[in-house]
Amino acid sequence: MASAMLDAAPDGIMMVDEDGLIVVVNRQLQELFGYDRQDLVGHNIEMLLPEDTRQLHRAHRTRFRVSPQTRTMGAGLQLSGRRADGAEFPVEISLSPLPTSDGLRVIAAVRDISVRMARESEAREVRRVLDATGDAVLMFDRDTLQFTYVNAGAIAQLGYSAGELLTMTPLHVKPTFNETTFRDLIAQISPGESHSYTTVHRRKDGTDIPVEAILQNPLSDRSNESGWMVSIARDLTRRLELEQRTLVAERHVAILEDRQRIAEDLHDLVIQRLYAAGLGIEVIRGATTDPRISERLSQVVDQLDETIRECRSSIFELSSSAATPSLRGLVLDVCADELVALGFEPSVLFEGPVDSTGEDVARNLVAVLREALSNVARHAQASAVQVTLQAGAQLVLRVEDNGLGVPARSLRHEGNGLGNMAVRAEKFRGSCQLRAGHPTGSVLEWTVPSP
């Protein structure tokens, strides 16, 4: 009866005496190691172990004999058995001491865990692959909604630790759902099917991130209904930023095309008509003998000439490249930056194709303008500043204020700031002059040759 009971056990079982000799084995142990009963009984148990662990096992047997107790052998270690053909395989061993009149006996239950180890290895590989993706992968129980697995992507996306997430449900991170609406959503997904939707996930720090989520109901091996669900969520923040940038770029291109069209119309139509009108007025002025009419017509021609110059300036501005910040924009930015220090907004006037200025010259000009306005704010006690930038045969930056003024003296004796301005001009074979204004104030004029 006892032998039949041992043979009915699912694991390999053997009994060993104090000297490590095998006393009893069941059928499962014989099949597990590939030995017949007579090849095992009476032989040392170390024959079932890999050669490199036999000596260490003898020491373990000695310690176990001193303090025998029921326990799992080698807890936390990976144990191996050795079959008759020399093949090694992973095992799990449980030990139970049995005192007898003939001395201590030890009952060992041995289980082949090769299949389990293979499955665990596969599971680790799956987890490694899931952790390698940047998307959040979360599994949760369909009934309780509690998360049962989260990958590294979910931890990074949501800002919670794995331990924290495994105590939570999707409702803790989906502010747009309540329990009723979320359960209605998963109820619509049949086994083997999935549903895609966009929503937001709320991170631990309270920030919301847009996500594209896929909710899947995997097939179960046991029934048509699965007890768990898989949620895969991809952070859309970067994609939406790129889409917004693309939209802005497309709008920018459309604006540039429209500006180019306007510039062409100004050049081809408006300026030509103004020029023709000016010639017509000149003819009329030459035919009149009234000096008052002649003077008035001359003023009109001058106004037309000024209008033509302004139109040409506008054409250059409209046609300027958007690949780099325009010099006009940089000058206006500097004037805006100095508004607080000055206490008022400088007046700005552009003449000619200022945006065709080279990058190196533009960078130095902006530095000079910033220094000049800073000097006015610190020393001039002015209430108005006129900034003029002219582009023609020369590029001229003029900063005029109505403050206390300065005596006509050498620029190089006006401090490091003004000296630096002169150096920046000389770098391009230009000049920088500071002179008294009329009737008050001062005028800084920075001039360099145009390319």
Percent of the chain with pLDDT over 70: 87
Q: What is the pLDDT of residue 87?
A: 92
Whole-number Cα distances in Å, 373 to 74, 277, 415: 81, 41, 15
SS3 assignment, position 224: coil
350 touches 397 (CB < 8 A): no
Q: Is residue 117 part of a domain?
A: no
CATH of the domain at 104: 3.30.450.20
- Regarding whether 387 and 351 lie in a shared domain, the answer is yes
- What is the C-alpha separation between 268 and 187, in angstroms, rounded? 68
Q: pLDDT tier at 408 (50, 70, 90 boundaries)?
A: very low
DSSP string, 157-175: HH---HHHHTT--GGGT-T
Q: Is residue 126 part of a domain?
A: no
- Regarding whether 7 and 31 lie in a shared domain, the answer is yes
Which of 188, 215, 235 lies at the terminal end of a domain, its last residue? 235
Q: Is residue 444 part of a domain?
A: yes
The strand pairing partners of 446, in sequence order, are 397, 432
- Regarding whether 298 and 192 lie in a shared domain, the answer is no
Mean pLDDT of the chain: 83
Parallel/antiparallel/unpaired status of strands 88-100 and 103-112: antiparallel
- Regarding whether 251 and 213 lie in a shared domain, the answer is no
Q: pLDDT tier at 122 (50, 70, 90 boundaries)?
A: confident
- Regarding whether 441 and 340 lie in a shared domain, the answer is yes
Q: Is residue 314 part of a domain?
A: yes
CATH of the domain at 353: 3.30.565.10
Q: Is residue 125 part of a domain?
A: no
- Regarding whether 276 and 298 lie in a shared domain, the answer is yes
Position 116 pLDDT exceeds 80? yes
> Full-prediction pTM beyond 0.75?
no
Q: Is residue 410 part of a domain?
A: yes
- Regarding whether 407 and 424 lie in a shared domain, the answer is yes
Whole-number Cα distances in Å, 3 to 25, 96, 105, 118: 9, 18, 17, 32
- Regarding whether 436 and 353 lie in a shared domain, the answer is yes
- Regarding whether 252 and 214 lie in a shared domain, the answer is no
Residue bearing tokens 């805006």: 336
Which of 235, 267, 294 lies at the terminal end of a domain, its last residue? 235
Phi, psi of 386 (to 5 degrees): -110, 120
Q: pLDDT tier at 178 (50, 70, 90 boundaries)?
A: very high
DSSP string, 64-116: HHHS---EETTTTS-EEEE-TTS-EEEEEEEEEEEEETTEEEEEEEEEE-HHH
- Regarding whether 259 and 152 lie in a shared domain, the answer is no
- What is the C-alpha separation between 67 and 50, in angstroms, rounded? 25
Q: Is residue 141 part of a domain?
A: yes
Q: Which domain holds residue 150?
A: 133-235
- Regarding whether 309 and 387 lie in a shared domain, the answer is no
Q: What is the domain count for the chain?
A: 4
Amino acid identity, residue 8? A
- Regarding whether 442 and 339 lie in a shared domain, the answer is yes
Q: pLDDT tier at 431 (50, 70, 90 boundaries)?
A: very high
